[in-house]
Structure 1
Amino acid sequence: MSTRRAVLVPAAVVVLWAAVALAWPHIVPHDPALQDPALRFRPPGPEHWLGTDQFGRDVLSRVLAGARPVLVVAPAATALGVLVGAGVGLVSGTVRGWLDDVAMRVVDAAMVFPTVIAAVLFIALLGRSPVVVVLVVGAAFVPIVARSVRAATLVEREKPYVDAARLRGEPALRVAVREILPNVRGTVLVEATSRLGDAVFAAATLSFLGLGQPPGSPEWGAAVSDNRVWLQVAPWTVLAPALAIGSLVVAVALLSDALRHRVAAP
């Protein structure tokens, strides 16, 4: 596969799911919430392309509807984690000294704490909602992004253009934002795409565990959780949302890999 095609194919998959998330009310063949016990566990066919579930709901319609919760929570969590993490890493790597030591010790402590346990604690305190999931997943990304951006910042801060900015008397914050940030933006973009795939998987995992979307939601992780007991009876009810998760995660991972190679290229 050529390099161009290696980028275009996963990009098309991501764009497709984004379009589905926006337009699903207009393209679903059936009401995703409509229950009809007479249609229970119908296999894939002309009327229901991906079959029906235990309540007679159309699986294809539910997969299409489930794209929106995923593609609302995941980008929001990614944006939160990348913005905060990049800011911490950029300032820490530029200023150094005691601020860098304190920031990195906090980052190290945060990376040790399991994300799932943190999610359980936050959801127990704040309740189950998409906002809480965004905060939990985004917070989990902060230390990862901070370490990566700090490493890139440490390389850039030793270059002559940064020394020239210091000699001009520019304050550390201006040096970080105006001089170093444009030269580490490739690292930030790579982290953003990498974390987006992680966020899709994390949001689906939390919903699967009952910590994200409520039971009965068409969100992909919740759909897999609700239907897993019927895997041997009606495998399409689980495979359809699982493949949707996999296609989006793999597509974002391929885009991230292509971007990483482009940034690393001389």
Structure 2
Amino acid sequence: MSAAGVTATRVVTRPRRRFRVALGAGVALIAAWTVVAVCWPVLAPFDPEAQDPLSRFLAPGGAHLLGTDQFGRDVLSRMLAGARPVLQVAPFATALGVLLGTAIGLVAGTLGGIIDEIVMRVLDAVAIFPAIIATVLFVALAGRSVTVMVLVIAGAFTPIVARSVRAATLVEREKAYVEAARLRGGSTIREILPNIGPTVLVEATSRFGDAIFAAATLSFLGLGQPPGSPDWGASVSDNRLWLTNAPWTVLAPALAIASLVIGIALTADSLRGRRERS
């Protein structure tokens, strides 16, 4: 093989290798936190709710690897237990938002005309309304629960996903296979849907990371999990006053959020890069 051929092979191989490494790291982080969310009662060294006033603000080390908080609760145990509330909300909110957004965007993009115009104007109106105000109103009316958090986050994601899916649908509906399906009386939506699958997959992974942040933010603001919950957002909120004196009480849940979001971002970027190269 010539030197030019070897160089070209290396240039092609390097992005593929980086893709595999990034995707593997992202999937590993997501899988690790998923296992923690399911198995934390076995993994946690202490009861995350157990208080010990004599052990307040112990620095990391010894029996308490990540220290204790203002109530003497083990920070590591609370960090592990906090994975479950987040992963009870984010996947379901993402799935619901992507499902609704895909259905709306696919129908609007396929039908076009006045239907598309009406749908897009409604989505514009929804997107303009401040999400935090809508969240406060919804929580005030429906109460604070996991179901409410799922519905609020899914509602915020639906217009974003719908716009992305509609754009992909507008591209696909001009292709020959769609016209052929239309001429033979087949369903154009059924023909288009498999071909926008990569777009839907990228949207799902991207929105999953956003859902983690959204769930943590709602708990931080007191609109999600109740105060005192080991939920990562609630833990950051409960301990933010002690950031100077006991930074480990805030850093542990904050780094947990960051690591999971980084894992999702690596996965989403890898899938996006693969779609663009294909």
TM-score (norm 2): 0.93
**Could you tell me how far 1:251 is from its partner in structure 2?**
1.2
Query: Structure 1: which amino acid aligns with 2:75?
Result: V
Is the aligned partner of 1:129 residue 2:152?
A: no
The answer for unaligned runs of 5 or more in structure 2 is 1-16
Q: What CA RMSD, in Å, does the superposition of the two structures yield over aligned residues? A: 0.8
Name the aligned partner's letter for residue 192 of structure 2: I
Q: Secondary structure at 1:94's aligned position in 2?
A: helix
- SS of equivalent to 1:234: coil
What is the Cα deviation at residue 224 of structure 1?
A: 0.1
Deviations 1:83-125 (A, max 9, x none): 0000000011001121111100011111111211111010011
Q: Tell me, yes or no, if structure 1 residue 200 matches structure 2 residue 200.
A: no
1:73-112 to structure 2, matched below 5 A, reads: 73-112=89-128
* TM-score of the superposed pair, with normalisation by structure 1: 0.97
Residue 60 of structure 1 is aligned with which of 76, 79, 82?
76
- Tell me the secondary structure at the aligned position of residue 106 of structure 1: helix
Q: 2:52 maps to which residue?
A: 36
> Secondary structure of 2:82's partner?
helix
Q: Letter of the aligned partner of 2:116 in structure 1? A: D
Which residue pairs with 1:175 in the alignment?
188
Give the 5 Å matches for 1:146-185.
146-170=162-186, 174-176=187-189, 178-185=190-197
Q: Secondary structure at the match of 2:244?
A: coil
Structure possessing the higher radius of gyration over alpha carbons: 2
Q: CA deviation at 1:46?
A: 1.9
Partner residue, 1:256: 268
After superposition, residues 227-242 of structure 1 pair within 5 angstroms as 227-242=239-254
Tell me the SS of whatever aligns to 1:2.
helix
User: What residue ranges of structure 1 are gaps of 5+ in the alignment?
Assistant: none
> Do the aligned residues in 1 keep the contact of 2:104 with 2:162 (CA within 8 Å)?
yes
Q: Say if 2:37 is the partner of 1:25.
A: no
Once residues 20 and 134 of structure 1 are traced to their aligned partners in structure 2, the CA distance between those partners, rounded to angstroms, is 21
Residue 72 of structure 1 and its aligned partner are, at CA, apart by 0.9
Counterpart code for 1:28:
A
CA distance in 2, matches of 1:198, 1:186: 19
Query: Which aligned segments of 4 or more residues in structure 1 are displaced greater than 3 angstroms?
Result: none
Aligned to 2:65: 49
Letter of the structure 2 residue corresponding to residue 14 of structure 1: I
Letter in 1 for 2:90: A
Find the aligned partners of 2:264 and 2:149 in 1 and give their Cα distance.
Answer: 20
Q: Can you list the C-alpha shifts for 1:28-71, whole angstroms capped at 9, x where unaligned?
A: 00000000001100000120000000000000000000000001
CA distance in 2, matches of 1:184, 1:38: 58
How many residue pairs get aligned? The number is 262
Instruction: Tell me the SS of whatever aligns to 1:51.
Output: coil
Q: 2 CA distance for matches of 1:4 and 1:258?
A: 8
Deviation digits for residues 200-232 of structure 1, max 9, x if unmatched?
A: 000000100000000000000000000000111
